[in-house]
């Protein structure tokens, strides 16, 4: 992180607002905006947060639902009441299997605000972002109940449209959204997907391709 980035970070209005209101990260306002607009988390939903550190999204999720909430990340987080946390790499098959067993049943909503380690080479960062988004979609396939919802952060680039097609093959409603709390310099967007119908949607997609 450069000195300039740190200075801008501390001047950032959403960063200051998060500090005042007790959120662990400015990203909390992205999820709040997404949920106001698309209602992807409801009162009794069971929700999974992938790449949840430092816990800003978990705080929002805990406010929105009284259902079970689960988080996973490589980094440790400060405990949150009502949240089951597993520390591990969700791209690892072993960790994914352990996490799925811990969740112990179908989930209503899977969200992911994961970002790759930024290299400064955009094509590489974009590809790594798509990889993480694909892993999030794989987890959604393993956990989502029929009719469930999915939110994932992705960096825009030449692989984005192909990834979007994968999501559209599984959900009846898919939107691309750029929250106001995202930094203007960021290429991130959020894919919002509702109503998970995997067998029906995948069948329709294959029939169109034939």
Q: What is the pTM of this model?
A: 0.87
Residue (of 201, 125, 127) closest to 165 by Cα position: 201
Decide if pLDDT at 186 tops 60: yes
User: How does pLDDT run across 152-172, given as a tens digit for each residue?
Assistant: 999 999 999 999 999 999 999
Q: What's the pLDDT band for 203 if we cut at 50, 70, 90?
A: low
DSSP-assigned letter for residue 88: S
Q: Using CA atoms, how far apart are residues 33 and 131, in angstroms rounded to an integer?
A: 25
Measured CA to CA in angstroms, residue 30 lies from 22, 152, 164, 176, 210 at distances of 15, 12, 20, 13, 39
Of the candidates 3, 138, 153, 180, the residue annotated as catalytic is 153
Decide if pLDDT at 184 tops 90: no
Measured CA to CA in angstroms, residue 123 lies from 16, 119, 190 at distances of 32, 10, 18
Q: Using CA atoms, how far apart are residues 54 and 16, in angstroms rounded to an integer?
A: 16
* Per-residue pLDDT at 7: 47
H or E stretch at 63: helix 56-64
Q: Using CA atoms, how far apart are residues 173 and 131, in angstroms rounded to an integer?
A: 22
Q: Using CA atoms, how far apart are residues 159 and 56, in angstroms rounded to an integer?
A: 28
Decide if pLDDT at 65 tops 90: yes
Positive or negative, the CA dihedral 55, 61, 67, 70 is negative
* Per-residue pLDDT at 198: 76
Cβ-Cβ contacts under 8 Å for 178 (sequence gap 6 or more): 188, 189, 190
Instruction: Note if 138 is an active site residue.
Output: no
Residue (of 10, 7, 47) closest to 31 by Cα position: 47
Q: Using CA atoms, how far apart are residues 47 and 69, in angstroms rounded to an integer?
A: 5
- Residue ranges and CATH numbers for the domains of the chain are 26-209 (3.40.50.150)
Q: Using CA atoms, how far apart are residues 103 and 96, in angstroms rounded to an integer?
A: 10
To the nearest whole percent, how much of the chain has pLDDT over 90?
71
Decide if pLDDT at 36 tops 70: yes
Q: Which is it for strands 144-155 and 188-196: parallel, antiparallel or unpaired?
A: antiparallel
Q: Using CA atoms, how far apart are residues 61 and 110, in angstroms rounded to an integer?
A: 11
User: How does pLDDT run across 102-138, given as a tens digit for each residue?
Assistant: 999 999 999 999 999 888 888 999 999 999 999 999 9
């Amino acid at each position: 992180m450069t000195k300039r980035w740190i200075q801008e970070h501390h001047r950032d209005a959403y960063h200051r607002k998060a500090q005042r209101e007790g959120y662990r990260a400015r990203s909390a306002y992205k999820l709040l905006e997404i949920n106001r607009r698309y209602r992807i988390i409801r009162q009794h939903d069971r929700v999974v947060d992938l790449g949840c550190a430092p816990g800003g999204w978990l705080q929002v999720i805990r406010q929105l639902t009284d259902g079970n909430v689960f988080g996973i990340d490589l980094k440790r987080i400060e405990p949150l009441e009502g949240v089951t946390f597993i520390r591990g790499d969700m791209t690892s098959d072993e960790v994914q299997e352990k996490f799925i067993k811990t969740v112990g049943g179908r989930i209503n909503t899977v969200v992911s605000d994961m970002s790759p380690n930024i290299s400064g080479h955009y094509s590489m960062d974009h590809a790594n972002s798509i990889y993480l988004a694909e892993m999030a979609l794989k987890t959604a396939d393993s956990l989502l109940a029929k009719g469930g919802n999915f939110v994932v952060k992705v960096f825009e680039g030449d692989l984005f449209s192909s990834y979007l097609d994968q999501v559209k093959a599984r959900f009846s409603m898919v939107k691309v959204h750029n929250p106001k709390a995202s930094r203007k310099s960021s290429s991130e967007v959020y894919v919002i997907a509702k109503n998970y119908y995997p067998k029906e949607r995948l069948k329709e997609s294959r029939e169109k391709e034939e």
